[in-house]
Amino acid sequence: MMRRFVLAALLLGLCACGRGDGRDPFTDSRIPPNLGPAFWPPQAWAWGLVQVGAAPAQRYGVGAPLDEPPIAQVLLMPGYGGTSEEDFQTASAFIDERMQVWTLDGVGQGGSGRIVAPRDLGHVDSFTDDVEGVRQTLDRVIRPSPDTPLVAIADGSAALVLLRAAQTGLPGVAAIVLTEPRLRGSGLAPRASSGPPWARWLHYGRYRAPGAGGWRREDGGAEPGSTAYVRHAWQTANPDLRMGGPSLGWLAAFDELLAALRADGPRKIDLPVLILVDPKAPPAERADAADLCHALPHCALASVAASDWAPREIAFVNGVAHADANPLATRALPNPRPGR
């Protein structure tokens, strides 16, 4: 009898972790009332889901020119705490230039399904599923062809995911753009430590890291029209998109991802890489970006205000689409090593 009771309790626990517990993917976002048409979804925008093994489904989005075939394709990957919706203005700019646009939210991010509760807690046990998710999205969904070259653009922490995927092989990707690549996961939780490796076996890693709070309704005084302002507007109007600080396990997995990238060597990434960094970014982030660029075989670093990233990205993708011999040469500033 006791054995049956224990079995029944376990089954009830499993049921409680299934659908309907707030972890499902989200593909029905509402337009925030405080955002103008420039930040609305491009015309005929559509959502879809891609899943790798037992990982939660990842949400992707797609939009394309309506009157003529695209000359190129672009994949946008928001970083930690980001969501595809914040890239709608950029997506529209690409589409206006005859480029098809895809977005891909990370595992447990944006509109993708969640691994743990509460929903605003960013957690992964490993970035293996994120890396494989990029590959599966290319193979099963985008299916790039030489006629419409694909440029992948990753922001913040997503830069490491994209670089690791490229390091292990990404057929069909013609070039990469990284916007303020984040190489220090601890920057998302200033007082955090990822904890000892054994902690994840006890699920200790699924607790929010010290110094990393939950989502807040206050926008912190973000400038209207900025990425932070637009992100907060979408997350205010759509609770399912909200993200607070990461878990200890997420930070540990991020450290492992960086270690794997370094161990296999960035020079294996034989693709043109353009890195864009806002001159107002913290000095440590700008120095990290410069070091990363020096470690890549084909890279250029540009100091460009975030508000001007889209025109620079469009120019770069146009260079790739028109088969420039070196699209990096005329579309990025010199890459001097910063003083320490």
Q: Does 8 score more than 90 pLDDT?
A: no
Q: Is 47 helix (H, G, I), strand (E, B) or coil?
A: strand
Residue range 116-138: mean pLDDT, rounded? 94
Q: Identify the CATH homologous superfamily for domain 30-321.
A: Alpha/Beta hydrolase fold, catalytic domain (3.40.50.1820)
Whole-prediction pTM? 0.88
Cβ neighbors of 268 (< 8 A, separation 6 or more) are: 167
**Helix (H) or strand (E) run with residue 255 in it:** helix 248-264
Give the closest residue to 154 by CA, choosing from 18, 22, 257.
257
Cβ atoms 292, 181 nearer than 8 A: yes
Task: Quote the pLDDT of residue 5.
Answer: 28
- d(C-alpha 75, C-alpha 178), whole Å: 12
- d(C-alpha 190, C-alpha 187), whole Å: 5
pLDDT tens figures, 70-94: 999 999 999 999 999 999 999 999 9
Cβ atoms 273, 299 nearer than 8 A: yes
- d(C-alpha 154, C-alpha 132), whole Å: 15
What is the radius of gyration, based on Cα positions, of the chain? 20
pLDDT tens figures, 192-218: 555 555 555 555 678 888 888 889 988
Dihedral (C-alpha) 108, 113, 118, 121: value to the nearest 10 degrees?
Answer: 10
Task: Quote the pLDDT of residue 218.
Answer: 82
Tell me the pLDDT of the chain averaged across its residues.
86
pLDDT tens figures, 284-338: 999 999 999 999 999 999 999 999 999 999 999 999 998 765 678 644 444 433 3
pLDDT tens figures, 39-64: 999 999 999 999 988 889 999 999 99
Task: Quote the pLDDT of residue 324.
Answer: 66
End-to-end CA distance of the chain: 69
Q: Does 244 score more than 70 pLDDT?
A: yes
Residue range 265-290: mean pLDDT, rounded? 93
C-alpha distances in angstroms, 140 versus 49, 59, 144, 162, 176? 11, 14, 10, 17, 20
**Helix (H) or strand (E) run with residue 302 in it:** strand 299-303
pLDDT tens figures, 140-189: 999 998 889 999 999 999 999 999 999 988 989 999 999 999 988 766 66
